[in-house]
Amino acid sequence: MQRDNSTLPAAARPAAGGAASVSPVMRPRHRYLRALQHRSLAVGLAICVVLAILVFALPLLAPRLDPDTQDPTLAFAPPSPQHLMGADSFGRDMVARVLFGGRTTIFASVCVVVLGGTIGTTLGLVAGYFGGPVGFVIMRLVDLLLAFPGILLALAVAAVLGPGLSNGVVAIAAIVAPVYARLVEGATSEVRNLPYVDAAITLGSGPWRIILRHILPNVASGVIVLTTSWLGIAALWIAALGFIGLGVQPPTPEWGAILNDGQNYITVAWWITVFPGLFLALFVVGVNLVGDGLRDEIDPTLYRN
């Protein structure tokens, strides 16, 4: 049977003379090397790797760092060779506070996108594939959640569940899930009508096999890009909940809680707020640069030589 190439993208059609008009499939190693040449992706990865080393590896290599050790004689000590980031009002070393606080904030933001992304992606896949009354009910619930301002919904959920890091993660995941559901539902509705999905149905594949084998891989690129974007936003909102007292509770260090501790002393001890704010800003910028780079690299609609 002769193959019909009229439905293929222009870049994927064979040339008139029979030779392929596109280069052979790029090997994974070369693909990764080309991706690292993307300026935003490379800079973002560098920032994230440096922060990960500082936050997760350095405390293990320097066991003397203790974020809870107090020394009243060092209260409001400015940055010095002995204390690179100074000390807070209780004489606690700010290097230890910032590094251990970053571990809490980053881990919580990862939990947010994993929990919210899993729930939202599942709802989007079900609504987009099955449609009908099931899809209608799911998407109207999603629209209801999206109608509320994000931070207001997070505050409401956190207030109902009570203060705490785990409750804060659940509260912010309630904001993230509808965003994933809306994105995945739209992409699933498009993929659902493609010929290879109809062929899989004709061959007797069940709905969940089709969703996992044929639909999910085709919507994964959008989910990955959205995850990198929301990782930074989740860190900001985790810090916001910690700043107003609905997140991590003292004495556990967390970037937002440290900012709250230092707001009353910003005129006399600027380092208490500047250093955790700087680390938080670097993390958000880094993951957003990675997201921009990934979007350019894995978006199938962007063809580059």
Class of domain 35-55+94-298 as given by CATH = mainly alpha
pTM assigned to the model: 0.82
The pLDDT value recorded for residue 137 is 94
The pLDDT value recorded for residue 157 is 84
The pLDDT value recorded for residue 194 is 83
Q: Where are the domains of the chain?
A: 35-55+94-298
Is residue 14 classed as helix, strand or coil in its secondary structure?
strand
DSSP for residue 13: S
Distance CA 49, CA 190 (A): 36
Q: Which of 236, 238, 233 is nearest to 288 (CA)?
A: 233
CB atoms near residue 244 (< 10 Å): 13
pLDDT tens, position by position, for the chain (305 residues)? 444 444 444 444 444 444 444 344 445 555 555 666 778 888 999 999 999 998 888 777 666 778 888 888 889 999 998 888 999 989 999 999 999 999 999 999 999 999 999 999 999 999 999 988 999 999 999 999 888 888 788 888 888 888 888 988 999 999 999 999 999 999 998 888 888 888 888 888 888 888 888 898 888 888 988 998 899 999 999 999 999 888 888 888 999 999 998 888 888 899 999 999 999 999 999 999 998 888 877 765 554 54
What one-character-per-residue DSSP string does 182-195 give?
HHHHHHHHHHHTSH
What one-character-per-residue DSSP string does 185-253 give?
HHHHHHHHTSHHHHHHHHTT--HHHHIIIIIHHHHHHHHHHHHHHHHHHHHHHHHHHHHTTSSSPTTS-
Cβ–Cβ under 8 Å, residues 74 and 91: yes
Phi, psi of 257 (to 5 degrees): -65, -35
The pLDDT value recorded for residue 191 is 87
